[in-house]
Amino acid sequence: MDMMQISSTSYNRDVSSALILLMAVSAGISVANIYYNQPILSDIAREFHTTETHAGLISMLSQIGYGLGLFFLTPLGDKFDKKHLIITLQTLLLISLGFIFFSTSIVQLWVLSIFISLFSVSVQVIMPMAAGFSAVNRGKNVGAIFTGMLIGILSARVFSGVIADLWGWRYVYFISAVAVGMSTLLLTIYLPGTKSSFEGSYSQLLNSALKQFGRFRLLRRLALIGMLQFGLFCSFWTTLTFHLNSEPFHYPSSTIGMFGIIAIAGALVAPFIGKRADRGSVLRVRFIAVSLNIISILIMFLFKNSVGAIIAGIFLLDIGAQSLQVTNTTLLYSIDESVHSRINTIYMTLFFTGGALGTFIGILLWQWGGWDFVMLQMILFALMIVGLLFKEKKDKPQK
């Protein structure tokens, strides 16, 4: 066999629903660590007597760390036993969470935020492992893990805001460390081992992933759309904390975190729109999704001091963002099935890179012109997506 090929070795086996549930919960616990910081940035800035801009860099660095982990660590799931890789990543995540609890400066928080998000990529090893358990139940298993991830992401802001108000922001990470420790212990006991499927070297594995970007025009276009969408999304959620903490709101962290419930509601509606993608209306769904983004931004721009407008904006923004991501993923997996893992590595790495860039630009614009400047940035990103979709409409479908 060619050294660059993924072998046909399979680890199909019957697994209990309890094990899948454990993996789903572990995935949610891990990925939530990337988003805990968003409602508590103002609290962190006050404790360390630093600016909102410096505190906001925590969100940007979290996205960078996750992107690095996606590219450099998750491909190892094809080369080593997935169980050992998951346990190693979660153990390192646990250690990083312990360090952040005792941090004494904003610089330490910056560094530790990179490590926390870097090791949170265990979720991207858990998902393909669940997919490989059974060809018959693959969709069901992956769906369960994805649901766990989504609940973790969307509930992170609510949890973080409430805990920060009750006991302080440090206890957000302390409680997370306990949860990560418990899930790691249970995974160590119950998770089965797997056989590696890639016979080449680590550098060959990474090089093979990079080559996919040059091979497929569709991958390049989807990655750019994903970068813009997630950049817009992360810019919003980072600066929303500053907006709601200042005039005329002055909301505490717990109240800011509760706005995450609206995001959960939006995400639950998104699949109903996304189902149209299965009926051959992918491009139409994507235009609808980005239109919802634009409408939500205009509402929050024109009525920036209205809580009702912010709530409506969050709801529409999340429906649009999730719908665009679902259809992007649908198209992504229409590309060469033999290289899905490597294509996913490239797409998700660029996706989170876009989140980091969007966050950084949003922080700068908040500093320069406040909420109005951030809304203008988001509109610009959304219009760029519209331009890419129109170009896609004119082009013949190609991979």
What secondary structure does DSSP assign to 217-272, as a single string? HHHHHHHHHHHHHHHHHHHHHHHHHHHHHSTTT---HHHHHHHHHHHHHHHHHHHH
Residues 6 or more apart in contact with residue 93 via CB below 8 angstroms: 30, 33, 116, 119, 120, 122, 180
Distance CA 295, CA 140 (A): 34
- Rounded to whole angstroms, what are the CA distances from 321 to 282, 385, 389? 14, 12, 15
Residue 298's pLDDT is what? 97
Range(s) of the chain covered by CATH 1.20.1250.20: 14-191, 208-399
| pTM assigned to the model | 0.80
Say whether domain 208-399 belongs to CATH 3.40.190.100.
no
- How many CA atoms does the CB half-sphere of 70 hold within 13 Å? 22
Residue 11's pLDDT is what? 52
Residue 28's pLDDT is what? 94
Among residues 304, 301, 273, the alpha carbon closest in space to that of 380 is found at 301
User: What is the residue whose two structure tokens read 């925590």?
Assistant: 58
- Of the candidate CATH numbers 1.20.1250.20, 2.40.50.100, 3.40.50.150, 2.30.42.10, the domain formed by 14-191 belongs to 1.20.1250.20
Distance CA 34, CA 117 (A): 6
> Any idea of the CA torsion for 348, 351, 355, 357, to the nearest 10 degrees?
120
Per the CB < 8 A criterion, the answer to whether 92 and 177 are in contact is no
Structure tokens at 201: 């070297």
Residue 5's pLDDT is what? 40
Distance linking the first and last C-alpha atoms of the chain: 26
Each residue's pLDDT expressed in tens, for the chain with a length of 399 residues: 333 343 334 455 557 889 999 999 999 999 999 999 999 999 999 999 999 889 999 999 999 999 999 999 988 887 888 899 999 999 999 999 999 999 999 999 999 999 999 999 998 888 878 877 766 676 677 767 877 887 888 789 899 999 999 999 999 999 999 999 999 999 999 999 877 666 778 888 888 889 989 999 999 999 999 999 999 999 999 999 999 999 999 999 889 988 888 877 776 766 666 555 545 577 888 899 999 999 999 999 999 999 999 999 999 998 888 888 878 877 876 787 666 667 878 988 899 899 889 999 999 999 999 999 999 999 999 999 999 999 888 775 544
Residues 6 or more apart in contact with residue 224 via CB below 8 angstroms: 350, 388
Cis amide prior to 75 (ω within 30 degrees): no
Structure tokens at 287: 């235009």
Residues 6 or more apart in contact with residue 201 via CB below 8 angstroms: none
Residue 392's pLDDT is what? 83
